[in-house]
Every structure is written in C-alpha cells, then in structure tokens.
Amino acid sequence: MTPGSLILYLCLIWLLFYGIIRARARPSILPNPLSLSPRRPRSLFSTDATRLTVNKLHLRVESTALNAYHDVFTARLTSRPYGRLRRILSAFYDSGTLSGAIGMFSCMVLLAWTVWQLGFTLLSSSSSSKTPGDVQAVAVHTKRGFDDASVPATDSYAGDRVQLELLVSAFTHTCVLKGHCVELSDSRPDSPPSPTSLSSSFPSSSLKPSTKPATPSAPLSLPFSDGVPLLSLGASLTVIFPTAFVSLPTSTLLSLPARARARIAAAGALHNLVLYLILFTIGRTGISGPAFRALGYEDVRSQGRVALAVDQDSPLAAHIPQGSLVTKLDDTLLGTGTPTSLLHDIWETYLSTNRIHNATSGCQRTFALTPLVLRTAQSDICCNPPFSPSSPSLACFISTNTGETRCLDPVPILVPTTAPRCAPDSGCSDAGDTCVQPREADVFLRITVSDGNDGNERVILWRGPRNEVYEQIRVGTLRPRWTFLPLSFPSTFILFFEYLQTLTLSLFFFNLLPLPRLDGTQFLEALLEFYAGKDAVNEEVALEEMEGGQFGGRWNSESRHQWEGKGKKWRERMCRSIKAAAAGLVGGCVLLAAGVAVKGIWT
C-alpha cells in the first residue's frame, strides 16, 4: 500500500465516524449549553455497560461488563484457599520487575549507541568516506551482474555498507528489456505502511496504562493478584495506532506498596516479552510448513522461487507474471541443489548484498563468439563515455585475451540458454572463437523463468543494479495446488507473524522508556522507591489485610508521606536525571536521523 492510498483510506474511515456522529445528532431549537466543552468526546454508541466515543482522531471504547466477574475472581483470589495461586502470580510479575529493570537499562544503552552511530555518520565527510576500498567495493558490486565470481562466504569487501549503497544509487541506471527503458521505482511491492503491519500492532500492544492520571490502568490479569478493583476495560485507536487498556482507581494504586506498583507498571512490558518468546518458539519449531501443506500449498523451494507480486510500475511486470517460477539468477540455481550455506536466503543474498554465490563450476564466466560476429560488430563508440545515445541497445564487450572492446547487442549473447561458454584460463572450445565478457560498467542480470509445469524456461535480460530487482519482486517458496487458493496467503500470514514478533519486542523496550505517558515513568519511580528499602516488610502486611477484605489498611497515602527519610531528595534527583537523559536520547535520535536523511539526499 502506498502512502497516498493509506492517507486516503484513513481520511475515509474518520469521515465515516464523524458522518455517523452527525447523522445521530438530534436537531434542537434550544442553544447549546454554555458548559458544553468543544473538546468533549462525542458518542458513537452507548449502552449501560459499553460506550464508544470519538475525540478528534482518537477512537475509544470502554466497557464495564466484566467488572462483576473481576470482583468475584478477586474476592476468591484474596482468600486463603487461593493463597498459593496468588503467590504464583506475584512471583511471576515480580520477574517482570527484574526483566523491566534490565529492559530499561538495555533500552537506554541502545539509544546511546544509536545516537553515537548517527552522530558519527552525520559528522563524517562525504569526501573522506569515498576511500579506495569503497570505490573497489562499488566496482565489484557492479561487476557481479555478469562476472559471477566465486567469493567465500566469510569474505567481505572493503567499505561501509551504507556508503556503498549511497555510492551505487548515485549513478543513473536504466533497465533494458528488449528495447523497453524506464526509471525504476524505489519501493518494494510489500513495503510498509501496509494493513499487515498496522493490524499486527494491536495484538502486540499489551494492555497498558492509559494517559489519564485520574484513571490509571494496567494489564488485565494483574489486579487479580494485588486486589485492585476494576473500573473499565477498553481499547483505543489513535489515527492508526491501536492500544488496549484497563482503568484502575488512582486512590487504590497509590495505597499499594512500591513493590506492587512496580509489578503493575512493568506488567505490560512483561506481557510483551512473554508474547515475543512464545512467537519466537513457534517460529523456531517450523510448524508453518506442514500447516500450509495441509491447507493445499506445495513447497517449491527445490525448484526455485515463486513470484508472488511484481511492482506494477516496473517493466518486469509484463515479463514475470504472478505465480511464475524463477529458477535461476545468472547461473546460480535457486533450488535445493545450490551448494551454498545460505540456501534459505539465497534470493536476498544474491540480489541485495555484495556476496556472490556460485552455483555451478566450469566455463561460465565468459562467452565464446565466432570471428563472423566480431567482424560484423560495430566500433567501440559505446565503450567510451559519454555513451552514444543513438545505440542504447548496445553494450560494451571486452575480449579476455587481447583486451579489445566492441559494441555488441547483448541479447543474442546473454539470453540463449545454450550460449557457448569459455573460461579465461582454458580458452574457448573452438580454436577460432574469441572469449568476451561485458565490461564492468555494464551491469546485466539473467533471470530464468518457468511459467508452467511443462518445464519450458525463458531468460529475461535485466540491465541495471540487481538490488532493484529485489525491491520490485516479492518471492516465496509456497505455491497453491489449486487455482482457487490465494497465492499470497502464506506470505501475508508469515509477514504478519514477523511484524507481530518485531513489534512485540519493540514495544517491550518502548514501554519501559521513562517518558511521559509511558509505563516506564511509573515503573522508574516505584523501582527507586522499592530499592530504597522503604516497604520490603510492609507488603506482607498489606497482603494479609487483602485476605481479610481490607484494601489499603496500614499502608496508605498518609503513612507513605510520614515515611520519607533522607533518601527522598536523592530518589527525586535520580528520577529526574534518568527521565531527562531518556528524553534527550530520543530527541537526539530523531534529530540526527533527520540530519542523516537530509545528508543522504544532498550527497
């Protein structure tokens, strides 16, 4: 989905919401009351237990239907027969306090490292970054389209990867498909923002505190173990970002010990961490393959890769239809017979990185031409820049024996699957032939495609950087056995699963940032208060009082203010310093990232 389509859909959705509000509004001859605030949420739907409201671009639904069930379960949990279950829940969420502290520290370290990396990238001059090693890396990156040189998997080229991509993208590339030349797009067919990434953000957003201080909230299962009554359960949608929340009374939360408040604040991040571990375990088990085969899909990774989607603005869309099988890139087989340790990722590795995987051996680097072809070839005008605009379909070929250059049509030489080959060290099979190869400045990629089950293959010759092929074609390894099954269902489900896994881990760190309106602020305050040794013993008293149906008891707001001690100022100073550091790091990341983006566009 393109950004323009996403904005259009969002506008239509929000216009629909406000259209419903306007249609439900009852006309009245009386003027509006003076006390009616223009910022007051407008109701879309309302019952005795559920209410759906809209305030600007914030959609919120709240329900009290589960309050009675929550109170019953809380009453049972705080009784003595359920003491073991209560202790298990407390121990589980106590582990969330430990993981939350580790996650907050790790998040601050990652932010500092990101600021350092962005600052170094921004301050490094463009001229100094173009070292001889980087230029050589770009030359090898360009040459790999026709040379297929064998490079060990442990080797790497000189130069920074980001600098390499910037240098390569600085040149103007065109694609040649039998005379068809257009400028390539920079977006992949599955590039976000997409409905897949947006829909996966809701299950990954654990029940978290709301932004209103009057009605704090926490994960649903946590009030059970700490005896906190439930006000409401709901979900919200801000523009396109969904969240879920549980509203809890402020007075009860303030009366809890610091250890319990830390559990509540860290529970949202703990849920994200547990969900990530579950998703990670499911992904490692590899159960998706048998599940899709049971649904009617076959695995074709032994034959190649299935073209799931091709960018409609790409000239490849007219030559590689959806569902066709890509079997080879140059001479590199995409099936299981490819001798490479990165078999599962060979498509991405071959097209988007500077590693070259050699699938076959022997005479494959150069092509043998007869003397007749060389005699009928044009001059080497296309080999001397600037290239002649009168011959865009010609390419410069160089002889591996004499170094002589000639302008030849690359299609008859590179496209036929039975084209004679020769190796530079052994020469041509025919003594009268000459071994030639495309010049380094001309980048070619041979894409072998099979459209059906008859085994007939055809070769598409691509002229230009191969990473743009990777950006414009989305491939997979599963193909439906029957035509009524959707082709992109497995890839969409896997993409949703990957987004869900990534967003879940990201939210684990993000929720622990000590920033306003995030769980990290309350967690940091409760954590500093707890480790100051304030109420390590008093929580046991509070738990005993909850068993008797008393909430708050001895440990209330008044006793909290009576016990301040000399460490209060130290805790407040430490809390303010950590919050300021987090805000500075986040702001620095945003500003430096914008600077790096502007620098990349400028250079």
Lowest-pLDDT choice from 11-25, 34-48, 336-350 = 336-350
CA distance 423 to 432: 15
Yes or no: say if 100 and 518 are a contact pair by the CB < 8 Å rule. Answer: no
Three-class secondary structure assignment of 4-67 = HHHHHHHHHHHHHHHHHHHHHCCCCCCCCCCCCCCCCCEEEEECCCEEEEEECCEEEEEECCCH
Burial of 561-570, coded b for 16+ CB within 10 Å and e otherwise, reads eeeeeeeeee
The predicted pLDDT at position 232 comes to 86
For the question of whether the overall pTM of this predicted structure is more than 0.85, the answer is: no
Yes or no: say if 54 and 21 are a contact pair by the CB < 8 Å rule. Answer: yes
The predicted pLDDT at position 55 comes to 84
The predicted pLDDT at position 78 comes to 77
The predicted pLDDT at position 142 comes to 33
Using one digit for the tens of pLDDT, what is the confidence trace for 354-367? 655 443 333 445 67
Tell me the percentage of the chain whose pLDDT exceeds 70: 63
Check residues 188 and 166 and name the one with the higher pLDDT.
188
Yes or no: say if 462 and 330 are a contact pair by the CB < 8 Å rule. Answer: no
Yes or no: say if 254 and 496 are a contact pair by the CB < 8 Å rule. Answer: no
Mean pLDDT of the chain: 71
Using one digit for the tens of pLDDT, what is the confidence trace for 113-155? 999 999 998 888 544 444 333 333 333 333 333 333 333 333 3
Nearest to 354 by CA among 151, 131, 130, 600: 151
- Return the structure tokens found at 37: 């605030």
Question: Between the CA of residue 404 and those of 407, 437, 444, what are the distances in Å?
Answer: 11, 11, 20
Using one digit for the tens of pLDDT, what is the confidence trace for 404-438? 787 888 888 787 766 677 755 555 555 567 787 78
Using one digit for the tens of pLDDT, what is the confidence trace for 483-528? 888 888 888 888 888 888 988 899 899 889 999 878 888 899 888 8
Yes or no: say if 278 and 550 are a contact pair by the CB < 8 Å rule. Answer: no
From first CA to last CA, the distance across the chain in angstroms is 29
**Which among 375-379, 387-391, 519-523 has the top mean pLDDT?**
519-523
Mean pLDDT for 36-65 is 79
DSSP-assigned states of every residue in 423-458: BTTTB-SSTT-EEEEE-TTS-EEEEEEE-STT--EE
Using one digit for the tens of pLDDT, what is the confidence trace for 287-328? 888 888 889 998 888 888 999 989 988 889 888 988 899 998
The amino acid present at 90, given as its one-letter code, is S
